[in-house]
Amino acid sequence: MPTEIVFETHSWSEDNDRGIATGWLPGRLSPRGRALAAELGQRRRDDGIAAVFTSDLRRAAETADIAFSGTPIPVLHDWRLRECNYGHRNGMPAAELQDRYLDEPYPGGESWRQAVHRVGRFLDDLPLLWAHQRILVIGHVATRWTLDHRINGVRLEDLINADFAWREGWEYRIADPRDRQDGTLPTQTSAG
């Protein structure tokens, strides 16, 4: 049985309302975001989720707290699931952050490729305790790009130019790399 990963973005934030690219700033959910987080919980509480992993940034952690409050499902915070660090541009209007730094880091921050590598280390560690289980990951654009790149083989060059169309979750499956001779993550298509 493969490990199943359900990915959900953090809920709508006050910065989303204002058109701000939050990056590594904490952010805070808007009233709309809190309602969406509650809907996420209703959607996923009885979905066979063994654990929830969330970015430690406030907007993602708050999403997980609202969605899974009062359930026995463990919520684990992991800094590696953070958004790309826009460095000096964290908190700028999103319209002014149109340059995508695929390989060159944002001034004082990281490149998208570095962010995907960072999130990829989370995926590498996942089978240590959570192999063959269904887990939920709450994160950001960098989190989803990592899943699409590492599991589905989508090139970062294609992801950086694609629209990030929101939906109610993406699902991915990965085989346990301990079952492979070379120790690499096999690519499997996502379901959903």
> Is 104 a catalytic site residue?
no
> Which residue among 4, 8, 62, 83 is the active-site one?
83
Q: How far apart are the first and last CA of the chain?
A: 18
CA distances from 177 to 53, 67, 143, 180 (A): 20, 30, 20, 5
Q: Using CA atoms in the order 112, 117, 120, 125, what is the torsion angle rounded to 10 degrees? A: -150
Question: What percent helix, strand, coil does the chain show, rounded to 5?
Answer: 40, 15, 45
Task: Read off the amino acid at residue 92.
Answer: M
> Is 10 a catalytic site residue?
yes
- The residue written with tokens 């709309």 in the block is 32
> Which residue among 10, 62, 110, 149 is the active-site one?
10
**59 CB-near residues (< 8 Å, 6+ apart):** 10, 11, 13, 15, 22, 26, 27, 28, 29, 33
Integer Cα distance of 16 and 3 in angstroms: 32
Active-site positions? 10, 83
